[in-house]
Amino acid sequence: MDYFNFREKHLFAEDCSVAELAKQYGTPLYIYSRATLERHWHAFDSAVAEHPHLICYAVKANANLAVLNLLARMGSGFDIVSGGELARVVAAGGDPAKVVFSGVGKTAAEMKMALELGIYCFNVESLAELEQLNDVAAGLSTMAPVSLRINPDVDAGTHPYISTGLKENKFGIAMNDAEAAFTRAMELPYLQVKGVDCHIGSQLTELRPFLDAMDRVLALIDRLGDKGIDIHHLDVGGGLGVTYDDETPPMPNVYASALMEKLQGRDLQLIFEPGRAIAANAGIFVTQVLYLKENAGKNFAIVDGAMNDLIRPALYGAWQKIIPVRQYRSAPKVYDVVGPVCETGDFLGKSRELSIRKGDLLAVRSSGAYGFVMSSNYNTRPRAAEVMVDASSHYVVREREKLPQLWQGEHLLP
């Protein structure tokens, strides 16, 4: 089921006309669907309803306060990678007791903040980090709950920039060093060992790498058990892919059920950290055609949205579907859809067959994850507004930036 649909040739986001939203709020514009976010979160939660679990939405995918607040209201936990994300979760009404803290470079100040707020668990990624966390916890005379992120050395079969589970990647503790790391964690007096964590990459479209990683991690949990180290939870990370084009990733319930099968007979809480699978297809990015032009036989649609707004195509060569907000019958042409930023790499899509005119609106689909959060002010471009639709209601959940905000905090020399 899709909450972004055409009605009489006009694109709707739930029951709101996208053209009307663009008229009211301007472009470029991010539009999110509340119903879609909720449905995707429930797909995970209901798949494992019978088993002790925690769904920790990966804040990095879309950190808008309204998005976090919606998920918090459903009882979601959160996976964070910075003190900033933790502060966002708190500002959005999220419960720190349901937060897991991932990332290879947590600072002492971030650890202190997280300990004081009482987070659920730290996903520790190195021996050096274990020692540091123990010191910070000692300074607060408190115990730090820890899980060790293990790098299982499986090929996630995804883009190299977003693959994290190979031994040459910077993430996690190598499987060969895992037992020694757990032994060390048990020795450190201010750490409480709770879990094993594993995240092998993003936009995975097959079950196999997840299941391989799970097998390796469960074997580790058994070896730890033999040493008297009891593991309370298994955090399987995020990474489940979505359909951008013709990919057919497993549905969250299929994925979750496959993992659950492997857990049969084990008393392990299961933690998921989905980001993209919840947010990507809950959002579109709307941009207006400024000019159509032809250079040496090539057609360009120059639009008002750019790589600073949506960087995935420029950064990873990622393909996202681009559709006109209003469908025409006139003969389509093939265009590169490019933005106003002064970089050859500034494109939203290449070689797209489109039937468009100057002034038309285009929607870039699947933009709810790693869209606005990765935007910048390059070329001194204010960041786009974000709107959430809820049936026929719509709300600005982040205002379009105003120019003076862009140089706030800058100072002239005396």
Ligand X SMILES: N[C@@H](CCCC[NH3+])C(=O)O
Q: Is 16 a catalytic residue?
A: no
259, 223 contact by CB (below 8 A): no
Q: Which does 312 bind (CB under 5 to 8 A by kind): ligand X, ligand PLP, none?
A: ligand X
Sole binder of ligand PLP in the list 239, 252, 305, 371 (CB under 6 A): 239
Indicate whether 104 belongs to the interface with ligand X (CB under 6 A). no
Does 239 show up as a binding residue in the annotation?
A: yes
Q: Is 285 helix (H, G, I), strand (E, B) or coil?
A: strand
Per the structure block, which two tokens stand in for 256? 């979750």
Q: How far apart are CA 170 and CA 109, in angstroms?
A: 22
- Which of ligand PLP, ligand X, none lies near 102, with the C-beta cut-off 5 to 8 A by kind? ligand PLP
Out of 16, 121, 198, 342, the active site residue is 342
**Which range touches ligand PLP (CB under 6 A), out of 24-32, 274-282, 293-301, 355-363?**
274-282
- In angstroms, the CA 200 to CA 102 distance is 13
Q: CA of 354: how far to CAs of 9, 271, 299, 300, in Å?
A: 14, 43, 11, 11
Strands 269-272 and 233-235: parallel
Whole-number Å distance between alpha carbons of 247 and 204: 10
- Partner interacting with residue 209 (select from ligand PLP, ligand X, none; CB below 5-8 Å by kind): none
Residue 61 sits in the site that holds ligand PLP (CB under 6 A): yes
Structure tokens at 397: 């959940």
Beta carbons of 163 and 201 less than 8 angstroms apart:
yes
Q: Is 162 a residue that touches ligand X (CB under 6 A)?
A: yes
Query: Could you tell me the smallest distance in angstroms from the CB atom of residue 61 to ligand PLP?
Result: 5
What is the rounded CA–CA span in Å between residue 321 and residue 367? 10
Subset of residues 6 to 45 that bind ligand X, contact rule: CB under 6 A: none
Asked if 370 interacts with ligand X (CB under 6 A), we say: yes
Where would I find the beta strands (DSSP E) of 20-76?
29-33, 53-58
Rule CB under 6 A: say whether 274 interacts with ligand PLP: yes
Using the rule CB under 6 A, which residue among 53, 312, 352, 381 binds ligand X? 312
Sketch the per residue contact string, 318 through 347, with ligand PLP: x for CB under 6 A, - otherwise. ------------------------------
Between β-strands 144-151 and 298-303, what pairing exists: parallel, antiparallel or unpaired? unpaired
- Cα–Cα dist 328/341, whole Å: 28
Is 179 known as a binding-site position? no
343 labeled binding residue? yes
How many amino acids of this chain bind ligand X (CB under 6 A)? 6
Tokens standing for 259?
Answer: 């993992």
Residue of minimal CB distance from ligand X?
Answer: 370
* Cis ω before 404 (30° cut-off from 0): no
Work out whether 202 is an interface residue with ligand X (CB under 6 A). Answer: yes
Q: Are 32 and 65 in contact (CB under 8 A)?
A: no
Residues found near ligand PLP in the complex (CB under 6 A): 58, 61, 79, 102, 199, 202, 237-240, 273-277
Q: Which residues form the catalytic set? A: 342
Tell me the binding residues: 239, 273-276, 312, 316, 343, 370
Tell me the binding residues for pyridoxal 5'-phosphate: 239, 273-276, 370
Residues found near ligand X in the complex (CB under 6 A): 60, 162, 202-203, 312, 370
